[in-house]
Amino acid sequence: MNKKLEKIIEDIKPVLERDGGSLELVSYDKKNGVVEIAFTGACAHCPISDVTLKHLIEAEIKENMPEVKEVRAVK
């Protein structure tokens, strides 16, 4: 996997853990610029996880890795 991406994910986790959730990096398709993550804990069933995905996780990853085009949540 990509070390820079893994570091970004680790930096985001404490924000989610405050609310009893977390996330895991599932895959990174470097060719297409797609990152797949899985929500865990409270985040897995949170009704606003889509907002968290786009406005926190995807925004942070894209800011640090402009080559990433999209971040998707998978089950």
pLDDT tens digits along 18-70: 999 999 999 999 999 999 999 999 999 999 999 999 999 999 999 999 999 99
CA distance 44 to 69: 23
- Strands (E) across 1-75 are located at 21-29, 34-41, 70-73
Q: Are 46 and 21 in contact (CB under 8 A)?
A: yes
Domain 3-73 coded CATH 3.40.50.300: no
End-to-end CA distance of the chain: 19
pTM here is 0.92
The pLDDT score that the predictor gives to residue 1 is: 63
Indicate the domain borders of the chain: 3-73
